[in-house]
Structure 1
Amino acid sequence: MDILLWILVFFSAYCTMEFMAWFTHKFVMHGFLWSLHKDHHHKNHESWFERNDVFFIFYAVVSITFVLLWKYNDLWVGLPIGIGIFAYGLSYFIVHDIFIHQRFKLFRNANNWYAKGIRRAHKIHHKHLGKKDGECFGMLFVPFKYFKSK
């Protein structure tokens, strides 16, 4: 197997997941599965876990499925796709859950232009407490307007 093709598939899967995160967030989480995502916006629960975490579990299962397709069905693209989805999930967890929402008290002092832009975009997203009228549904790649100095 050509390593360059493997790397291309990995990065394609990783980048596709940003679109999938945006699409799922906008049309599923703020759509017909708002009941699972609502507690993430309202924080009216005592538990560290949120119903919203179901989405993380869903994509973990998708990632594992691709790895299993590689292992048991000899589908070579299963491994780079599965690892690409996993890598995106890990990035998402670090940026969203650890850095932005501080579910673990790490990266509190990150203040570079990217960190400020991501934080600003997510803050704008969370100012809408309801299912409708949301904006900025992406996570790692957000519109450039959020990176401009104010």
Structure 2
Amino acid sequence: MNLLIVLLVFISMEGATWLIHKYIMHGFLWVLHRDHHDHSNNGSLERNDLFFVIFATPAIAMLYAGVRQDFSSLFFIGLGISLYGMAYFFVHDIFIHQRTKIFRNTRNRYLLAIRRAHKQHHKHIQKERGECFGFLWVPVKYFKMYFNKK
């Protein structure tokens, strides 16, 4: 049952990420997310990186509360959120934005589709008219770009 909770939370985080990205990060918290699009910050960290802290806080709180309650379901909810956050970090920051120069030359069609969709998202430097707000699931047209090749 606990593994099912972790899996369902991880999957649900994709929908939550889409909603948060579109309506919060491109909404009232654009002030934190903007430098991720317009590259106005010359340092290695962006104001956008504060979202890691913002999103990690409830996950850590759930992990802690769940441990204090003999590994209640709160722990496994926090674990699902944390695993999604780790996946997000590795795919978004390391693979897509190349904060460390590894996995540059992949031929994996799924990863290429994710990268292409994210580039489409970043072609809009303002908060309006955005597209591709998801993370691990992207519109089918980007998969077709790579999966229809022989």
TM-score class normalised by the smaller sequence: over 0.9
- Count of matched residue positions in the alignment of Structure 1 and Structure 2: 146
Q: Does 1:83 align with 2:83?
A: no
Q: Give matches, 1:33-112, under 5 Å.
A: 33-74=29-70, 76-112=72-108
1:71: Cα distance to partner? 1.7
Residue type of the partner of 2:47? R
Q: Distance in 2 between matches of 1:36 and 1:101?
A: 18
Cα distance in 1 for partners of 2:25, 2:40 equals 17
Residue 135 (1) aligns with residue 131 (2): yes
Question: 2:106 and 2:141 mapped to 1: Cα distance?
Answer: 19
**Which amino acid in structure 2 is aligned with residue 15 of structure 1?**
I
Name the % identity: 49
- Cα shift at 1:146: 0.7
CA displacement, residues 63-115 of structure 1 (integer Å, 9 cap, x when unaligned): 11111111223461112111111110010011100000001111111121101
Secondary structure of 2:66 counterpart: helix
CA distance in 1, matches of 2:50, 2:83: 18
CA–CA distance in 2 between the matches of 1:56 and 1:17? 14
- Separation in structure 2 between the aligned mates of residue 134 and residue 32 of structure 1, nearest angstrom: 15
Over aligned residues, Cα RMSD in angstroms? 1.2
SS at match of 1:97: helix
TM-score (structure 2 length as normaliser)? 0.93
In structure 2, the partner of 1:113 is: 109
1-structure distance, mates of 2:71, 2:62: 9
1:124 aligns with 2:110: no
Structure 2: gaps of 5 or more residues: none
Q: What are the ranges of 5 or more consecutive residues in structure 1 without an aligned counterpart? A: none
In terms of mean alpha carbon deviation, does 54-63 or 124-133 score higher? 54-63
